[in-house]
Amino acid sequence: MKTTVIGLLGTTLDSGFAEKRWERWRPTVGMFMHQDLLIHRMELIIPSDSRRLASTVAMDIQSVSPETTVNIHPIDFADPWDFEEVYAGLADFCARYPFDQEKEEYLVHITTGTHVAQICLFLLTESRRLPGKLIQTGPDRRDPADPAGVYSIIDLDLSKYDRLAARFAQEASDDVSYLKSGIETKNVEFNQLIERIENVAVNTKDPILLTGPTGAGKSRLARRIFDLKKARRQMTGRFVEVNCATIRGEQAMSALFGHSKGAFTGAVTDRDGLLKAAHGGLLFLDEVAELGADEQAMLLRAVEERTFLPLGSDRESASDFQLICGANRDLRHEAASGRFRADLLARIDLWVFRLPGLAQRREDIEPNVRYELDRFAERTGTRVTFNKEAWRLFMEFALSALAPWTANFRDLAGAVTRMATLAPGGRITADGARMEVERLMEQWQGSGGQGGHVERLLGIGAGELDLFDRAQLETALAVCAESGSISEAGRRLFNVSREKKKAANDADRLIKYLKRFGLSWRRINDELGREGGRQ
């Protein structure tokens, strides 16, 4: 493969016409005096009034490297320090040049020319408009009289540098760990999900949609995304969180978009609104499906145009923010039924990530319990631990089908807080763990977490089931209600045992299990599908 160098004539450093010019280093000529650097062609960009110097440089190049062809390209800049003009001129040269990367390797010389021109060459190379590597030359400090000087070649594909690649990998790993609050989660699918979220979060300002059941951690993840972008200096504003389920009507319009004085009764002063407060930062709209039609229309315009009209005002307001939305319902179903604007959904579902519930991540319960104990210690200044029997008792329950974790991490955080608060001498005992297990069982039974689906489908027959069978069936029904197909539900329910089978038939196993209770997928889908957010 042949080597071609593209560079600028150094009107000062390359100058010289008498024999003494060979007694000092000249960057363009010196580049061709290295035995280990064979250059077949030089594309020399010059100002028109430097043709005589360019001819001398070309002649000197060929005298030290007879195999090199020198092509001269006059390009004039009215102001060589005008960035826009210089960049445009060099970009036009790149657009015209017949690059042939299959047969030639290109080096871009960035030692000569004004600082502006050097920067432009760097940017053109980085963006691959100049498809090559950089070559930098300089005098040899050990032998200043050596006219060849020294050179170094720099590949802007940083992934090719082992130490840099390792550093980037570590930074990405640190970012992923940060998004997980430092919790060493074990669930493979969840870890892959967080890696994808990290990759998107640091590379775009487009809207992000986080879906999943209440308590799955959407709000905390949105805050961690903001903190990560803030640490990378990608945001200068603040984090603004809004639970859309808590605002309605004029209150919602005013809270989100602001209002002018006198817009409604009680509006005694102007108000900027939360979208304005999020300027330069991140706006997290949790339970976005709860917004009314007017708020959805205004939000769509704010996302697309970065402008909106405060309530009662005839003057537009502007705000540049990144939007993250949270939803525990299927927004596509909501849009199909007319409860959510399809055009707004199309704008916010570019990046959609579904956070699984705690029951689908049981292997992550243990590290999250330890995390909650650390949080308790930070809040109270008291370090609390489990004794061996208490840990065994609580974890057996937490990992079993008896624990549906209907409120997800909120349930778990509450359980740990209660056990830690009542721990004598900072040690959670078996009695304390047993008391919390009983409390959770009663809580889920009373709220429908262990009895809602079963009683709804079996009616009076639910009372004939043992507590264990009812708890197990309730978990299965809850997963079915959240799944789009019986195969998906089977994969989630048999996520461990299926790996031990040569040919896992999850749907068949689930059909047989449900049949024991006189249930079918069609019936579950008809009666629980809307509740689970399926169409």
Residues 421 and 347 in one domain: no
Q: What is the CATH number of the domain that holds 393?
A: 1.10.8.60
Q: Does 419 lie in the same domain as 313?
A: no
248 with 291, same domain? yes
443 and 337 co-located in one domain? no
The tens-digit pLDDT sequence of the chain (535 residues) is 899 999 999 988 888 878 888 888 999 999 999 989 999 999 999 999 999 999 999 999 999 999 999 999 999 998 989 999 999 999 999 999 999 988 999 999 999 999 999 999 999 988 888 999 999 999 988 888 889 999 999 887 755 556 655 665 666 666 677 677 667 778 888 888 888 988 898 889 999 999 988 888 899 999 999 988 888 888 889 999 999 988 877 778 888 998 887 667 667 687 888 999 999 999 999 999 999 999 999 999 999 999 998 888 878 899 999 999 999 888 998 899 899 999 999 999 999 999 988 888 899 999 999 999 999 999 999 999 999 999 999 999 998 878 889 889 999 999 999 999 999 889 999 999 999 999 998 888 765 444 467 777 776 566 677 777 877 888 888 888 878 788 888 888 888 787 777 777 888 899 999 998 888 888 887 777 544 434 3
Instruction: Identify the CATH number of the domain in which residue 9 sits.
Output: 3.40.50.10770
Please indicate, yes or no, whether residues 245 and 287 belong to a single structural domain of this protein.
Answer: yes
Task: Please check whether residue 450 is in contact with residue 404, taking contact to mean a CB–CB distance below 8 angstroms.
Answer: yes
Domain identity same for 289 and 312: yes
Phi/psi region, residue 249 (left: phi>0; alpha: psi -120 to 50; beta: rest), is: left
- Show Cβ contacts of residue 328 under 8 Å, excluding neighbours closer than 6 positions: 211, 212, 213, 214, 287, 533
186 and 322 assigned to the same domain: yes
Could you tell me if 333 and 386 lie in one domain? Answer: no
Q: What is the residue range of 48's domain? A: 2-156
Same domain, yes or no, for 229 and 88? Answer: no
Phi, psi of 76 (to 5 degrees): -105, 135
- Give the Cα separation of 485 and 532 in Å (integer): 12
Q: What is the dihedral of CA 469, 475, 476, 480, to 10 degrees?
A: 150
**Among 134, 156, 178, where does a domain finish?**
156
Backbone torsion region of residue 318, taken as left when φ is above 0, otherwise alpha when ψ lies between -120 and 50, otherwise beta? beta
CATH number for the domain that contains residue 290: 3.40.50.300
Domain-terminating residue out of 354, 380, 402:
354
**Pairwise CA distance, residues 459 & 531, whole Å:** 18
Number of domains in the chain: 4
Q: Is 457 in the same domain as 441?
A: no
Is 80 found in the same domain as 172? no
For the chain, state the CA radius of gyration.
Answer: 33
Does the global pTM surpass 0.85?
no
C-alpha dist (Å) from residue 332 to 215, 322, 434, 533: 21, 22, 42, 9
Q: Which amino acid is at 418?
A: R
Report the C-alpha gap between 244 and 355 in whole angstroms.
Answer: 19
Kindly state the helix (H) or strand (E) to which residue 4 belongs, with its residue range: strand 2-8
Same domain, 368 and 510: no
